[in-house]
Amino acid sequence: MKNTFAILLAFLGGFANAQIQVPQNSSAGSVSSRIGLTDVRIDYFRPKLKGRKIFGEGSSFLEPNGKIWRTGANSGTKISFSDDVKVEGMPVPKGEYLIFTWPGDTEWTVSLYKDLTLGGNTDKYDPSKEQVKFKVKSEKLAEKIETLTLAISDISEDSTTGNVQIAWENTSVKFSVLAEYDNKIMQSIDGNLMASARYYFDSKKDLKQALVWIDEYFANGKNADQYWNLSVKAQVQKALGDKSGAQATAQKSLELAKKDNSDFYVKQNEDLIKSLK
């Protein structure tokens, strides 16, 4: 009987000490994306509308115009960049920052703040610790956003730029992030002439420089017998308007590809030659 009573007490004690998990009022959220070769990540807490008026003029609004906001709940919102970037055209070193905002009817002020220990304590905000501060236009949304949402959107075709979007209630604000990657790529392919030429061709950069690198590469040993690289040269020549040169290069590439039974390059060169007629 004593053993049974002891077991019951142990069970009840364990139950009392157990941590019961319940949903937070403002759930944690995160979003990440790559712009260029730079990883961008946002970590934040997501408050809900709950029937409240969020943005507007006066004390009846949760986040009144012109008043500093931690841009989220709890400990505020953090954004990180794995490389140096430009935010709204201003340099921002790689690292992690807090996002603070000052809402307005048609324009918001946004800052990236260097001291992460501040968290969401806006009363101790120190302007000397701002990395950048800028103004951006706000937009009105047709449908209400129930839960604060941050996103990394509008990434450009060449992947050099994107926008960070803040959306809540019926308001949306975006600021731009520029992540240049040319220098990083060129450093990684430094000394590789064909890789440099291919990159310049694919990204529609200086085609004359691409051709210089190709000819320099072909001048070394038997490199000029590489039909796969000859095909690249023919494409560069075509892009430069040198049809006769492109045809001669593609013809040589075609003959070498046939000897090696490379169907892919045979067809690629045949298609290129046809396009030059």
Q: In this structure, what CATH number is given to the domain that contains residue 186? A: 1.25.40
Cα–Cα distances (Å) from 204 to 13, 156, 198, 216, in that order, read 70, 15, 10, 20
Q: Do both 151 and 224 map to the same domain?
A: no
Residue at 41 is within a domain: yes
Domains: count for the chain: 2
Q: Do both 142 and 234 map to the same domain?
A: no
Task: Say whether pLDDT at 9 is over 60.
Answer: no
Task: Say whether pLDDT at 19 is over 70.
Answer: no
The sign of the dihedral angle between the CA atoms of 210, 212, 215, 220 is negative
69 pairs with which residues across the strands?
A: 101
Quote the mean pLDDT of the chain.
Answer: 91
Task: Say whether pLDDT at 2 is over 60.
Answer: no
Contacts for 100 with CB less than 8 Å, ≥ 6 apart: 68, 69, 70, 71, 76, 110, 111, 113, 122, 125
Domain of residue 44, residue span: 23-178
Comparing 250 with 21, the larger pLDDT belongs to 250
The DSSP letter of residue 47 is: -
Comparing CA positions, the residue from 208, 210, 162 lying closest to residue 186 is: 210
- The domain boundary residue, chosen from 178, 200, 223: 178
Directed axis angle between helix 227-239 and helix 193-202, to 10°?
Answer: 40
Q: In 10 A of CB 267, how many CB atoms?
A: 12
Q: Do both 129 and 42 map to the same domain?
A: yes
Residue at 17 is within a domain: no
Q: Do both 134 and 197 map to the same domain?
A: no
pTM above 0.75, yes or no: no
Task: Say whether pLDDT at 109 is over 90.
Answer: yes
Comparing CA positions, the residue from 170, 202, 164 lying closest to residue 41 is: 164
- The domain boundary residue, chosen from 178, 202, 220: 178
| Each residue's pLDDT tens digit, 197-229 | 998 898 888 999 999 999 999 998 889 899 999
Q: Do both 50 and 167 map to the same domain?
A: yes
Residue at 167 is within a domain: yes
Tokens, residue 152: 């990394």
Tokens, residue 252: 């040589």
| Each residue's pLDDT tens digit, 27-42 | 899 999 999 999 999 9
Residue at 9 is within a domain: no
Is-contact 32 39, C-beta < 8 A? yes
Task: Say whether pLDDT at 16 is over 70.
Answer: no
Q: Provide the residue type at 130 as one letter.
A: E
- The domain boundary residue, chosen from 143, 178, 213: 178
Residue at 18 is within a domain: no
pLDDT of residue 20: 66
Tokens, residue 26: 């403002």
Residue at 237 is within a domain: yes
Residue at 6 is within a domain: no
Q: Do both 190 and 230 map to the same domain?
A: yes
Residue at 8 is within a domain: no
